[in-house]
């Protein structure tokens, strides 16, 4: 989704050059011993619940006293609910039944009814011999990443493909309000004309049960499929106007964005395959699951790290492990020793970041151990994924300006935000989902209504709608939802 500048309150401006990362590069933050010592025992002991392994019920609110651990528990419980089979013996998972963006935002006609498979531009007859009798159940033609608007190519020369989908409550809101039509969507799509939602519907918001997903997939060869390291689906991919191809796709990442009554700016979490990429501070590390890194080639000695080069595989490393803004690689090398006054280096921020990192590490370990110990309850492949970031705002703050943000202030997925882990030109650390999903309107003095936190409206294609200058009356249920 295209980058939008962050409001002035939320981020200082500076020039940024994405440079090569290497072990002991001199751009790493110094981690004070006091920062580690203050991490609460509750965060470092953050544990999963065995009931999550078999429950398809999504949590409706962050549990407990809403400690850092509680937020990480909310998201791991969500992921495990999403990967439950839709019925006993089915190979279809819950999240695979959600409506893809191309089923809502179409050029003509109406959105695909909920529960039906939307049509695609693929006109090929699936070869079930290749897929073991399984009908392809994922179609995607999206290769450009958010922010950078550039594709990620793996070491074998294949593009990574992306999918976007929503749960039924989001689908109901988009269709009730006819936000799939250009005139109704108005400024929710950048540069689009239409009704003035900013002045007429300033409180238009997603329902409290809204969940949006974004997934990343790499093309797998037979050996990678047989390795058992990936969640694999038979899929159809298409690049520009080229013919569709039937391939095996391995899941490499998933964003989960969930709204609850206490978090109107939503919770923004991201999961990755554990073999995606090493930390920039330790590029000599071996892949934790064995085999090879998905997006890092240790044999390439002159590759530029996290830089897009046309027609070349990307050399990827993680700039901020667990989205911790006070550690890792800083823009321009200005870490907390060089520039101690930046927001990520303030004592309270560092304490919060330390607790978030400890909780993420603890819950990942707990979930992975739980899955491995219960192979009859859940597919063990899910132990090969980990939570790498989770960010939200405190005090029900909307818009989500920086000083109200908590959690992984530099959350980024190496398979989805490869080239903007430290932001884009003229933006400094911290940088995360809320740097773009900020409700920024057509001008610096305007904020979109809260529904504008979603960038799915970039996909609007159908003209017309709302000819009387107002949203449909069926949309009234979403107008007083702050």
Lowest mean pLDDT among 16-25, 289-298, 352-361: 16-25
**What is the Cα–Cα distance from 126 to 175, expressed in whole angstroms?**
31
Domain spans of the chain, in order of start = 71-475
pLDDT value at 77 more than 70: yes
Note whether 138 and 97 are within 8 A (CB).
Answer: no
Instruction: With cut-offs at 50, 70 and 90, classify the pLDDT of residue 10.
Output: very low
DSSP string, 360-387: HHHHHHHHHHHHHH-TTTS-GGGGGEEE
pLDDT of residue 424: 74
Asked if residue 70 has pLDDT above 80, the reply is: yes
Give the residue-averaged pLDDT of 142-154: 94
Is residue 146's pLDDT more than 60? Answer: yes
Three-point CA angle 233, 2, 187, nearest 5°: 115
Dump pLDDT digits (tens) for 408-441. Answer: 999 999 999 999 998 876 566 789 999 999 999 9
H-state helical runs in 5-83: 33-37, 41-44, 68-82
Higher pLDDT, 215 or 134: 215
Taking CA atoms, 298 is separated from 38, 283, 303, 413, 459, in Å, by 36, 8, 10, 20, 37
Q: How confident is the model at residue 116 (pLDDT cuts 50, 70, 90)?
A: very high
Q: What is the pLDDT of residue 425?
A: 61
Which DSSP letter does residue 406 get?
A: E
Amino acid 48: pLDDT? 97
Measured distance CA(301)–CA(426) in Å, rounded = 29
Q: Are 103 and 174 in contact (CB under 8 A)?
A: no
Greatest Cα-to-Cα distance within the chain, rounded to the nearest angstrom:
62
> pLDDT digits over 285-324, tens only?
999 999 999 999 999 988 999 999 999 999 999 999 999 9
* Beta bridge partner(s), residue 257: 212, 268
What gap in Å lies between CA 279 and CA 412, rounded to an integer? 12
Per-residue pLDDT tens over the stretch 212-263: 999 999 999 999 999 999 999 999 999 888 889 999 999 999 999 999 999 9
Q: How does the average pLDDT of the chain come out, rounded?
A: 89
Torsion of the alpha carbons at 327, 333, 338 and 340, rounded to the nearest 10: -50
Identify the three-state secondary structure at position 104.
coil
Give the integer Cα–Cα distance in Å for 220 and 251. 10
pLDDT of residue 109: 85
Confidence of residue 121 (pLDDT cuts 50, 70, 90): confident
pLDDT score for 4: 37
User: If 0-12 CB within 10 Å is exposed, 13-18 middle and 19+ buried, where does residue 46 land?
Assistant: buried
User: Any residues with CB less than 8 A from the CB of 398 and at least 6 apart, and which?
Assistant: 264, 265, 439, 450, 453, 482
pLDDT value of residue 159 = 97
Average pLDDT over residues 13-30: 34
More confident residue, 408 or 481: 408
Of 88-92, 102-106, 192-196, 449-453, the poorest mean pLDDT is in 88-92
Instruction: Report pLDDT for 137.
Output: 74
**Average confidence (pLDDT) over 367-380:** 97
Write out the H or E segment, with its range, that includes residue 351.
helix 347-373
More confident residue, 39 or 389: 389
Q: What is the mean pLDDT of residues 43-53?
A: 92
Report the pLDDT value the prediction gives residue 206, as an integer from 0 to 100.
Answer: 98
Give the model confidence (pLDDT) of 331-343 as tens digits: 888 888 888 888 9
The number of beta carbons lying within 10 Å of the beta carbon of residue 210 is 25
User: What is the C-alpha separation between 69 and 50, in angstroms, rounded?
Assistant: 16
| Distance from C-alpha of 89 to C-alpha of 357, rounded to nearest angstrom | 37
What 8-state DSSP symbol labels residue 266? E
Which residues partner with 440 through β-bridges? 447
pTM higher than 0.85 for the full model? yes
């Amino acid at each position: 989704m295209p980058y939008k500048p962050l409001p002035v309150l939320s981020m200082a401006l500076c020039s940024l050059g994405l440079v090569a990362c290497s072990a002991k590069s001199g751009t790493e933050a110094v981690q004070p011993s006091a920062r580690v010592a203050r991490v609460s025992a509750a965060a470092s002991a953050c544990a999963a619940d065995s009931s999550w392994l078999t429950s398809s019920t999504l949590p409706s609110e962050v549990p407990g006293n809403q400690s850092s651990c509680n937020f990480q528990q909310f998201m791991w419980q969500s992921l495990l609910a999403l990967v439950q089979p839709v019925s006993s013996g089915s190979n279809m998972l819950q999240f695979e039944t959600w409506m893809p963006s191309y089923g809502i935002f179409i050029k003509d006609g109406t959105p695909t009814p909920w529960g039906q498979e939307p049509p695609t531009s693929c006109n090929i007859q699936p070869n079930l011999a290749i897929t073991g009798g399984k009908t392809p159940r994922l179609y995607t033609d999206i290769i450009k990443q958010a922010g950078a608007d550039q594709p990620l190519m793996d070491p074998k020369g294949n593009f990574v493909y992306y999918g976007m989908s929503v749960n039924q409550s989001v689908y109901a809101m988009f269709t009730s309000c006819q936000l799939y039509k250009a005139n109704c969507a108005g400024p929710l799509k950048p540069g689009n004309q239409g009704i003035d939602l900013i002045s007429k519907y300033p409180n238009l918001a997603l329902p409290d049960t809204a969940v949006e997903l974004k997934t990343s997939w790499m093309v797998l060869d037979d050996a990678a499929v047989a390795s058992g390291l990936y969640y694999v689906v038979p899929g159809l991919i298409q690049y520009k106007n080229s013919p569709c191809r039937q391939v095996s796709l391995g899941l490499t990442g998933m964003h989960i964005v969930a709204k609850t009554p206490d978090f109107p700016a939503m919770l923004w979490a991201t999961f990755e395959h554990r073999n995606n990429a090493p930390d920039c501070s330790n590029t000599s590390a071996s892949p934790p699951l064995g085999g090879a890194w998905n997006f890092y080639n240790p044999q390439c000695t002159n590759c530029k790290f996290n830089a897009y080069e046309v027609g070349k595989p990307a050399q990827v490393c993680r700039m901020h492990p667990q989205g911790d803004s006070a550690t890792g690689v800083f823009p321009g090398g200005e870490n907390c020793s060089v520039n101690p006054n930046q927001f990520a280096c303030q004592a309270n921020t560092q304490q919060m970041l330390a607790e978030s990192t400890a909780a993420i590490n603890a819950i990942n370990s707990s979930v992975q151990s739980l899955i491995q110990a219960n192979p009859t309850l859940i597919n063990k492949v899910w132990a090969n994924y980990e939570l790498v970031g989770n960010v939200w705002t405190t005090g029900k703050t909307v818009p989500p300006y920086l000083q109200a943000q908590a959690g992984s202030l530099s959350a980024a997925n190496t398979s989805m935000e490869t080239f903007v882990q430290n932001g884009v030109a003229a933006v400094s650390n911290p940088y995360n989902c809320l740097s773009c999903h900020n409700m920024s309107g057509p001008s610096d003095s305007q904020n979109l209504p809260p529904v504008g936190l979603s960038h799915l409206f970039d996909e609007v294609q159908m003209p017309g709608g709302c000819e009387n200058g107002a949203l449909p009356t069926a949309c009234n249920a979403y107008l007083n939802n702050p």
